[in-house]
Homo-oligomer: A and B are copies of this chain.
Amino acid sequence: MLVQTYKDMLGAKSVIRDLAGAAVERGKEIGYENVFDYSLGNPSVPVPDEFNRSIIRMIGEMDSQSLHGYSPNPGIPEVRDIVAANLKRRFGIPYTREHIFMTSAAASALAHAFRLVTEPGDEIITFAPFFPEYRPYVNLTGAVLKVVKPDTETFQINFDEFEKMISDKTMAILINSPNNPSGIVYSEETVKRLSDVLRAAQKEYSHPIYIISDEPYREIVFDGKEAPCISKYYDNTIMCYSYSKSLSIPGERIGYMAVNPAAEGADLMVSMAVQISRGIGHNCPSSIIQRAVAENIDLTSDLSIYETNMNLIYDKLVELGFTVVRPGGTFYIFPKALEDDAIAFSKKALKYDLVLVPGDSFGAPGFFRMAYCIDTEKVKRSLPVLERFVKEEYGK
C-alpha cells in the first residue's frame, strides 16, 4: 500500500514555492524582468569557465571507463585527497582522504551525518531562523528536530533557550553559518561559547554530542572576512559542504562530508557512511563532476555581486526604517516586517511585484527573507518600488 507518511506530506503547502510560482505567473503577464523576485536561492552568477573547460578536456583525454566508470563508494580517491589537502591548507586541520566522503551536495551529506550519530527518537537541536527543509530531512530519519527560538537582535545563538533544551537525548547540534535565511555569520565568540556549552554537556551526559555544520555558504562572506571554521573550535564536528553556491552548480549535485580527524569515531565514520549509502540509495556523485570540482578546488564563481546587492538593499532598508541585521555573508537578508503578520506583509508586497518570503517557515514569524542572488540592475530597479510599497502601505 502507498505509505501514509509520504501521502500525508503531499497536502503541505510551501509558502516559498507558492510565491515563486506566483512570481513566474506574474512574469508571464508583465515580463519576468519586471517581477522583483526575491524568493529563491538560485545562484545567478555563472560557473567559472575553467570548470566547463575541465569537463571538455577530460572528455578529450580520458578513456571512457576511467571517466564514466564506477567511482568507489566514498568517492574517487584522488578527489578525496584534493579536498582533504585543500581543507588542511585553509583551516590547518589534518584532514586526509579517510575523513572525506563525497556526496550529492549538502542534502546528501546531511542525510548521512544524521544517520551516523542518531537513532530514531534521538534529538537534534537547531537554531531559528533555519532552512525549513531541516525539518523533513531530520524527522524522516526518525530523529526529532528541536528548534531554539531566535535571538532576533543579532541572529547569533539564543544560549539561554539552548541550554535549557539540551538533554540526555541530544545527540547532535545542527548549525548553518553563514546562515540561510538571516545572512549572519556566527562570530568567533558565538562558536567558542557553543563549543564550551557542548563540551560541558558531553561531560554531563557521558556521550559525544556532534556538531553537524551545514556550510554551503562558506565562501560567500562579506567585508573581506572569513567565517570561523567550526571544526577548529570543536573536535566532534561533521562538516557538510556543497559546491552549489560557490561554483554556481546546484544542478550538478556535488559536495562532501568532512569528519574532523579529532572527532570521536573519526576513523570509522566514512566507512559507516558507505553502509548508510546502501540503505538510502546513494552511490557517489557523478564521476565527471567529482573530477571537475577537484580540478578547480581553489576556484569560485565571481561572488562579489552578492556583496554589492546586499549593500544596496541593506542601505535602502535602513533608510526606510526597517529593523534589520546586516548580513555577514550568503545572498540572503532577513528584515523585520512592518507589521506583526509577515504573511500579510508579503501578500501586500506582491501587489507591487515584490516577492518577499515570510519568515514563519524559517522559525521566525514577523520577519521576511529576500534572496538577492539576482542581477544588480534588477536590485537597483526594485529599490524605488520597495520605497513606494512601504510609503503607500505603511505610510512611512
Binding site for B on A (CB under 8 A): 1-3, 6-7, 9-10, 42-47, 52, 55-56, 59, 63-65, 67-71, 103-105, 107-112, 115-119, 133, 136-137, 139-141, 171, 207-208, 248-254, 264-265, 268-269, 271-272, 275-276, 278-289
Chain B residues with CB under 8 Å of A119's CB are: 3
Q: How far is the CB of A239 from chain B (nearest CB, A)?
A: 16
Would you call B248 and A282 a contact (CB within 8 A)? Answer: no
Complex CA gap A99/B346 in Å reads 35
Complex CA gap A351/B9 in Å reads 57
Would you call B10 and A271 a contact (CB within 8 A)? Answer: yes
Residue in A45, A109, A272 whose Cβ sees the most chain B Cβ within 10 Å: A272
Chain B residues with CB under 8 Å of A64's CB are: 45-47, 248
Q: How far is the CB of A86 from chain B (nearest CB, A)?
A: 21
Chain B residues with CB under 8 Å of A140's CB are: 276, 278-280
Closest to A46 in B: B64
Would you call A3 and B272 a contact (CB within 8 A)? Answer: yes
Would you call A281 and B112 a contact (CB within 8 A)? Answer: yes
13 A–B contacts, CB within 8 A, in A order? A2-B117, A2-B264, A3-B272, A6-B276, A44-B65, A55-B56, A55-B59, A68-B251, A111-B280, A252-B287, A253-B284, A253-B286, A280-B281
Chain B residues with CB under 8 Å of A63's CB are: 46
Would you call B251 and A115 a contact (CB within 8 A)? Answer: no
Complex CA gap A318/B9 in Å reads 56
Complex CA gap A283/B136 in Å reads 13
Would you call B105 and A7 a contact (CB within 8 A)? Answer: no
* Interchain CB contact (< 8 A) of A286 among B103, B141, B285: B285
Chain B residues with CB under 8 Å of A282's CB are: 104, 107-108, 280-282
Closest to A52 in B: B59
Chain B residues with CB under 8 Å of A2's CB are: 116-117, 264-265, 268-269, 272
* Interchain CB contact (< 8 A) of A3 among B118, B207, B249: B118
Chain B residues with CB under 8 Å of A276's CB are: 6, 140
Complex CA gap A252/B71 in Å reads 9
Would you call B265 and A71 a contact (CB within 8 A)? Answer: no
Would you call B286 and A6 a contact (CB within 8 A)? Answer: no
Q: How far is the CB of A14 from chain B (nearest CB, A)?
A: 11
Would you call A268 and B10 a contact (CB within 8 A)? Answer: yes
Complex CA gap A276/B272 in Å reads 22
Q: How far is the CB of A81 from chain B (nearest CB, A)?
A: 18
Closest to A209 in B: B1
* Interchain CB contact (< 8 A) of A10 among B6, B109, B254, B275: B275
Would you call B283 and A3 a contact (CB within 8 A)? Answer: no
Would you call A250 and B281 a contact (CB within 8 A)? Answer: no
Chain B residues with CB under 8 Å of A10's CB are: 268, 271-272, 275
Would you call A251 and B116 a contact (CB within 8 A)? Answer: no
